[in-house]
Structure 1
Amino acid sequence: MGNRSDGPQHLCRQGRKCKSRVKDTAGKFHGVGVESPDSLCHVCEEHAFEAIRELGNDLSMLVTSVEDGRAAAAGPKVSFSAERPVPIDLGVDSLRGEIDNEVTRWAIRVTRGEELTNPHATLCANLGTLIDLPPQRVTVWIPHPDGGDDVGDEILDGVDAVLRLVKLHQRAQAMLGLTETTTFLPDPCPHCGRKALAVSKDQQRVTCKGCRIVWDSDHFALLSNVLDFERKVSRV
């Protein structure tokens, strides 16, 4: 028989950011074991896919935030004249363009150049194909040491594509003030029972980090009251 290693041959590409990360004997966190090299574990993959599916909502909310003047990100305002100001938040507008470009880029690649009517819907329908894309040369913006960005080339595979899209979702959530707090509620999740409930920054949503179910705050408060009543009755 051949030699067997003491641990998994490959680790989740998210490393210490892996959703299922494990701690070694030295106390350091690393990604959980996976079957294929340079891949994501199942949990990280599902979280990433869900983030990509949310990009459509991110775009809609970014558009609304500009129209309502409620964008969280600070940025200079521009106007064409003193008589007619145009309150365009450059940070929000730039991020909207980045999301559109990145989504379209990868939708074209997973469909091999087919005509696209809805790039985001097309991408969401082909997430398995996306993450399995082989390494390929991609044109990207590269930060310049003296400031600004230069156009350059990078070799990216499907996992790179997925993680780039996830980062755009995270940036959109932060810009909209929807990034969840890292403080967990003391009560267990009514759905899965794990103590993994986090409240959104605007206090409007409660999300279970374990099973990923989401409630609006009013619904969650009502549900909690019902569960508290049932627990009290059960003790009588």
Structure 2
Amino acid sequence: MHDTTSLCANGPRCRNQHPHTQQPATTTGGSPWCSTCLDRPARDIRNLTVDYLDLAQLHEASLSQALHDRTTGSHESPLLIAGHIEALQAEIVHVATTWEQEVRAAARLATPEQRAPVAAWHTTITRPTPVGAGRPGHQVQRAATLLAAHIHTLAALPATTVYPTGCEDQPTDYTGADAIEHLQALHQRARAMLGRTRRTRRLPGTCPDCHADLNQQEPLHPDDDCPVYCANQCGMQWTYTQYEQWMTAFLPTPSRGGHR
């Protein structure tokens, strides 16, 4: 691993920037991001375990619906949806276990016992020993737990040749930073397929702490007082009532003269 020191690659979006100069935090160990900015990727990767299990439940429901439609003569086939779920699950398993192997090799961690045959595409160009076989859900849990715990090692990995999404891909050079972005994208795709994403709107005004944009997610129910948060994810968060009070204090008061 490299011992170079540089500024966080998130630049003005760094979550640990200097409060007065807004300079991004420094990084060490070859990671392009600072420790604070790696907290969210670690959380997203850790959540892949829950994503995989929830997708499995959605997949089972889709197959049950397909069987029902077959007996009732419905023209709409949920099998296509089930196929998309299976493909996303397979990609999660492949990507997570691929980079688990790389992190284990880089950090010299023990490798679980291997019980399955080893194919040529199971390993990357570094040829680490493949991890132990097991059910896909268990593989994702093991890989996601390890990757989240060693997020700094993953972020600092140099470029290596991998099969990005599966064994049918063309070998491509990916860095550890590319892997983190890919794993986060898988988490977001899973959330979208599970119907857990919410539209976000930009509000007038800027964050009083870092001067970034202010965002608010759409409400889930009529009484949902959706919080207003900083787009830079600096940690600032208000209720919408607090946001209105803050905006009222800074907006110019309309003149009471003029029209009657």
TM-score by length of 1: 0.56
The separation in 2 between residues aligned to 1:140 and 1:166, in whole angstroms, is: 14
Identity %: 24
Asked if 1:177 is matched to 2:195, the reply is yes
Tell me the equivalent position of 1:101: 94
Tell me the equivalent position of 1:74: none
The separation in 2 between residues aligned to 1:37 and 1:111, in whole angstroms, is: 17
Cα 1:107–1:206, aligned 2, differ >3 Å: closer, same or farther?
Answer: farther
Tell me the equivalent position of 1:114: 111
Where is the strand percentage greater, Structure 1 or Structure 2?
1
Per the TM alignment, residue 66 of structure 1 is displaced from its structure 2 partner at its CA by 2.7
Gaps of 5+ in 2: 16-22, 113-131, 133-137, 245-260
Asked if 1:49 is matched to 2:42, the reply is yes
User: In the TM superposition, what whole-angstrom CA distance separates every residue of 1:85-135 from its partner, at most 9, and x where no partner exists?
Assistant: 995521122111111111111112211371156222222222121111122
Tell me the equivalent position of 2:181: 163
Asked if 1:199 is matched to 2:217, the reply is yes
Query: How do residues 17-96 of structure 1 correspond to structure 2 at under 5 angstroms?
Result: 19-20=13-14, 39-42=31-34, 44-69=37-62, 82=70, 88=79, 89=81, 90-96=83-89
Q: Is the 8 A contact 1:177 1:201 kept in 2?
A: no
The separation in 2 between residues aligned to 1:49 and 1:55, in whole angstroms, is: 10
Q: Which amino acid aligns with 1:55?
A: L
Per the TM alignment, residue 63 of structure 1 is displaced from its structure 2 partner at its CA by 2.1
TM-score by length of 2: 0.52
Cα 1:107–1:154, aligned 2, differ >3 Å: closer, same or farther?
Answer: same
Instruction: Pick 1 or 2: higher relative contact order, CA cutoff 8 A, min separation 6.
Output: 2
The separation in 1 between residues aligned to 2:78 and 2:197, in whole angstroms, is: 24
Q: Is the 8 A contact 1:179 1:201 kept in 2?
A: no
The separation in 2 between residues aligned to 1:84 and 1:114, in whole angstroms, is: 50
Cα 1:210–1:32, aligned 2, differ >3 Å: closer, same or farther?
Answer: closer
Cα 1:224–1:119, aligned 2, differ >3 Å: closer, same or farther?
Answer: same
Q: Which amino acid aligns with 2:144?
A: H
User: In the TM superposition, what whole-angstrom CA distance separates every residue of 1:164-199 from its partner, at most 9, and x where no partner exists?
Assistant: 10111111122222223222578x99xxxx984633
The separation in 2 between residues aligned to 1:63 and 1:212, in whole angstroms, is: 34
Per the TM alignment, residue 163 of structure 1 is displaced from its structure 2 partner at its CA by 0.9
Per the TM alignment, residue 20 of structure 1 is displaced from its structure 2 partner at its CA by 3.8
RMSD after superposition: 4.9
Q: For the pair shown, which has the larger CA radius of gyration, 1 or 2? A: 2
Q: Is the 8 A contact 2:8 2:27 kept in 1?
A: no
Q: 2:149 aligns with which of 102, 122, 125?
A: 125
User: In the TM superposition, what whole-angstrom CA distance separates every residue of 1:10-31 from its partner, at most 9, and x where no partner exists?
Assistant: 775568xx7349xxxxxxxxx9
Moved more, 132-141 or 202-211: 202-211
Q: Any idea what SS the aligned residue of 2:169 has? A: strand
Q: Is the 8 A contact 2:42 2:149 kept in 1?
A: no
The separation in 2 between residues aligned to 1:195 and 1:140, in whole angstroms, is: 34
Q: Which amino acid aligns with 1:179?
A: T
Aligned residues: 192
Q: Which amino acid aligns with 1:19?
A: R
